[in-house]
Structure 1
Amino acid sequence: MYALSKLYHVTPDEIVKANDGLKGGLKRGQEIRIPLKVKRPKQVPVDTLANPAFNQAEWVDSILKKEVYNVGVFLPFKLDKFDEELLKCPPVGDCKPFIPTIRAVEFYQGVEMAVDSMRSAGLSVNLHVYDTKGDTGIVRNILSKNEVKSLDLIFGPLSHSTQPLVADYALANKIQFVSPVNSSNKLLFKNPFVTKAIASIPTQMNAIAQYVADSFATQSVILFDNKDAKDQSYFAKVFERRYNELTDGDTAKYRDTLAIIEKGVDLKNMYPYFHMTGTNVLIVPSN
């Protein structure tokens, strides 16, 4: 009870009062109410966005809807290189596509779909598209333009070498920056203007562990651990730790402990891990 009171900044008496006196005491697995204290300011100061320590939850609902939103799209289209490769194509027959351009165009098509949805919801959006070519020098040149300061949102770039430049610019100019790829968590550090569209792999592994524990409680869960690949082995350990936390001590609900198979085990030696009549859930971490 003391730990809960410290965690949620309430007194033990307030917790007891909110739960009808907790007759019989607090038991493991019991659901209780925590009386949270939330204070909202009547008026949010304009300059609070400049303070990273300011609680964003207190001002996010005070942001006014704009008549027009300007969205910048920073993608490595590399159209000059695409044209060069196109000239090499034979007059007749298959032409090998220039993959970087194709990938950038696919991202852009996704942006257009999102913008269509925004417009259907009654928002007005102007798209400003920039070809970064995956080059830090070109990104610096783009960011030096006055027009970029008027953007409300920046989508991209894709390369890890150019993203820190945009993250720093977003913080300095209070522009929201969305990274559409699996970026380093360093981008988020002390920067409330950066959002990762893709969660880190450890975060994904924790979510998968939660899903497996909730959806396959009575099934055979088998985790593959490739110790030859450091990243994959680490992801396996993240899953194992979270899954065991979720299922620990609940033998009535969960079939048994997590089975772990290491790389190199041949098929015949895997049979003891499999449930021959039920469902087997195989977890293969990778990046």
Structure 2
Amino acid sequence: MAHKSVYPMKRFLSIFFVLFTLGAALAQEADYQRKYESGKELLKGGKYELAKELFRPLMQEAEGNRYAAYAHYFFALSSLKTNKPDEARLALQQLLQKFPDWPDADNAHYLLANVAFEKKDYPGAFAYLEKVRSKPVKEDGENLKRHYAQATTAKALKELQKRYPDDQVLATVLVDKLTLSTDPEDLELARQLDEKFKLNRAEQITESAQTEKKDAYNVALLLPFNYNQLVSDKSARNNQLAVDMFNGIQLAQQKLAEEGVKVNLLAYDIGNDADPMLKLINQPDFAASDLLVGPLYGSTIKAALAFAGQRRIGQVNPITNNGQILQNNPVAYLFQPSVESQARYAANYALQTFPVKTAVILWGASARDSTLAHHYRKFFTEGGGKVLAFKKMAQPTVGQMEAALTGYDETKLGHIFIPSTQQNVAINFMSVMEKNFEAMPVITMSNWLDYHMINYDQYERHNVHFIFPEFVDYRKPEVIAFKQAYVAKRNLIPSIYAYQGYELMMRFGRALGEYGTNFHAGLQGKPAEPGILMPGFHYNGSNDNQYVPLIKFQNADLVLANPIEMK
């Protein structure tokens, strides 16, 4: 009997072990799937660092893990989204080595091309795109190429086009850029490419060759004057920006006339309603404009941009730093440096100025803060710097801020970049600086100057630099003269918008006078120059101001840390 009872028990234990092992395997596979799906949701929601933490273990090949290949891909995508192109490239290269028959290899090659473009490795990017076979991915690759080509200067594009003479995307973007030039060699190259690729740009090229110098230039001011709503105090306040800017522009008009450049100012009341803008661009007289200033709001900007691009009329937005609104329109400009340009300039300044090439980057709650931080990390690391910490500080206590800065000393940490416009972030940060650091360089935003709970001597002691595109040095003789003229004419103290209006009209009015209606190549070819009232300008092949004023305290006065040196 004993012999008969043992055999069924062994059999039961064997079956139990198999079922247990199978159950464990199924549980493990379910865990892989849960992490994979959660990672994708985090990626979709923009939580890239958290997504990477879930994809990282899934990249290891193991029994039951069906997600290793895709985990590599999504890890790389998350890395690219957090401005870590080297990390993304490594993950993609591992993916293609480990899984050479992966059915979505085209997407990996596309992403590798994206990484190469970010690193300005154009031959590498083109080589990866040539490996793409899928028609939809190939079309996306052409759009990717177009995007980066549009962000490249005409000079660099000409060299690329020599290397890839049969690439239609490069040729098309280059021709669009060359039509802004008045140089005969540029226009001849544009004609040759237009004929070779049948781009139908002959009319634009001819117009560029015939840039017109005029006795008088028509400048359309598309600003929210709110003429029909000035009965309320609120409307009066809302239109103050436009009125002050207009008053500054009028003074510039007088100065330009003294210099021999006649400007006709045509004011249009354009607010946030698209209908008046659409009606205006359909009026024949409006097509005679030589420069558009404004509009300021999204619903009207799009219509004005399309009109300006079609008619090749210069357009400048006087107040925004959102470079995306330009939509790669070659005749549209920002008077201000874009957020990306601010980050690039500040990062390069830090690399050139601070002896230790390391940084801690902390940023605030807004989307703009995050964008500045991510761009800064990208440009700082590309320039050879090392980021020791990178952290969001939305509503930090003093303790949390202190924890974020613990463990660093001034021999190993070069500076701190903290793009945040929140008062509590500024106050708590400076409290920690007072306690833990003596003279650690800091770069932040000009809003901090408005937070009166922080003494200005703290900023001077801690070598705090402020990104301040709107800075006006009120001790400057030209500023004093402008203020006196403005008060004499308006019996009012000029606001920042009056200073900006004057500077904008002088900058673009002189460009019209010097180069004519097709002033773009001339403006973009100028070296960096000090402004009249404001610190300076440098368009440098770009459509936003590449010069970014950095301000700091020196002997209790605000001074420009990076003045433009005229050669």
Note the 1:37-52 alignment, pairs <5 A.
41=184, 51=201
Instruction: Tell me what 2:326 maps to.
Output: 187
Instruction: Tell me what 2:377 maps to.
Output: 240
Note the 1:72-221 alignment, pairs <5 A.
72-82=220-230, 84-85=231-232, 98-182=236-320, 183=322, 185=324, 187-189=326-328, 191-218=329-356, 221=359
Contact 2:344 2:376 in 1 (8 A): yes
User: In structure 2, what is the Cα distance between the partners aligned to 1:199 and 1:121?
Assistant: 27
- Matched to 1:77, the amino acid is F
Contact 1:259 1:273 in 2 (8 A): no
Contact 1:224 1:285 in 2 (8 A): no
Shift of 1:112: 2.6
What does the per-residue CA deviation read over 1:129-152, in whole Å, with 9 as the maximum and x for residues that have no partner? Answer: 111243211112222322211111
User: In structure 1, what is the Cα distance between the partners aligned to 2:313 and 2:161?
Assistant: 36
**2:232 alignment partner, SS class:** helix
Q: 1:158 to 1:10 in 2, by over 3 A?
A: closer
User: In structure 2, what is the Cα distance between the partners aligned to 1:150 and 1:106?
Assistant: 25
- Matched to 1:279, the amino acid is M
**1:162 alignment partner, SS class:** helix
Larger radius of gyration between Structure 1 and Structure 2: 2
User: In structure 2, what is the Cα distance between the partners aligned to 1:285 and 1:222?
Assistant: 19
User: In structure 2, what is the Cα distance between the partners aligned to 1:75 and 1:125?
Assistant: 17
User: In structure 1, what is the Cα distance between the partners aligned to 2:387 and 2:186?
Assistant: 53
Contact 1:221 1:283 in 2 (8 A): no
Shift of 1:153: 0.8
Instruction: Tell me what 2:440 maps to.
Output: 279
Consecutive unaligned residues in structure 1, runs of 5 or more: 12-39, 87-95, 249-255
Q: 1:215 to 1:115 in 2, by over 3 A?
A: farther
Q: How many residue pairs were aligned?
A: 233
- Matched to 2:326, the amino acid is L
**1:66 alignment partner, SS class:** coil
Shift of 1:108: 1.7
**1:279 alignment partner, SS class:** coil
Contact 2:323 2:334 in 1 (8 A): no
**1:98 alignment partner, SS class:** helix
- Matched to 1:121, the amino acid is E
User: In structure 2, what is the Cα distance between the partners aligned to 1:174 and 1:122?
Assistant: 24
Q: Does 1:65 align with 2:213?
A: yes
Instruction: Tell me what 1:225 maps to.
Output: 363
Shift of 1:221: 4.4
Percent identity (aligned)? 20
What does the per-residue CA deviation read over 1:199-231, in whole Å, with 9 as the maximum and x for residues that have no partner? Answer: 3312221121112222223487442134x5444
User: In structure 2, what is the Cα distance between the partners aligned to 1:273 and 1:285?
Assistant: 25
What does the per-residue CA deviation read over 1:130-180, in whole Å, with 9 as the maximum and x for residues that have no partner? Answer: 112432111122223222111111111111100111112222333222222
Bigger drift between 66-75 and 136-145 goes to 136-145
- RMSD of aligned residue pairs (Cα, Å): 4.0
Shift of 1:118: 2.8
Q: 1:134 to 1:10 in 2, by over 3 A?
A: closer
Q: 1:97 to 1:154 in 2, by over 3 A?
A: closer
Q: 1:79 to 1:233 in 2, by over 3 A?
A: same
What does the per-residue CA deviation read over 1:90-137, in whole Å, with 9 as the maximum and x for residues that have no partner? Answer: xxxxxx773221111122234334434433332111111111243211
**1:247 alignment partner, SS class:** coil
Bigger drift between 213-222 and 145-154 goes to 213-222
What does the per-residue CA deviation read over 1:171-195, in whole Å, with 9 as the maximum and x for residues that have no partner? Answer: 2333222222325525333x33322
- Matched to 1:69, the amino acid is Y
Contact 2:323 2:339 in 1 (8 A): no
**1:223 alignment partner, SS class:** strand
Instruction: Tell me what 1:26 maps to.
Output: none
User: In structure 2, what is the Cα distance between the partners aligned to 1:43 and 1:240?
Assistant: 36
User: In structure 1, what is the Cα distance between the partners aligned to 2:236 and 2:260?
Assistant: 37
Contact 1:219 1:278 in 2 (8 A): no
**1:70 alignment partner, SS class:** strand
- Matched to 1:73, the amino acid is L
**1:118 alignment partner, SS class:** helix
Consecutive unaligned residues in structure 2, runs of 5 or more: 1-120, 125-155, 163-182, 192-199, 411-436, 448-567
What does the per-residue CA deviation read over 1:222-277, in whole Å, with 9 as the maximum and x for residues that have no partner? Answer: 42134x544422321211121122134xxxxxxx7555454136254335446434
- Matched to 1:159, the amino acid is Y
User: In structure 1, what is the Cα distance between the partners aligned to 2:357 and 2:339?
Assistant: 24
- Matched to 2:224, the amino acid is P
Shift of 1:55: 8.5
Shift of 1:71: 0.7
- Matched to 1:196, the amino acid is L
Note the 1:15-54 alignment, pairs <5 A.
41=184, 51=201
Superposition TM-score, scaled by structure 2 size: 0.35
Instruction: Tell me what 1:15 maps to.
Output: none
Instruction: Tell me what 1:19 maps to.
Output: none
Q: 1:44 to 1:284 in 2, by over 3 A?
A: closer
Q: 1:262 to 1:177 in 2, by over 3 A?
A: closer
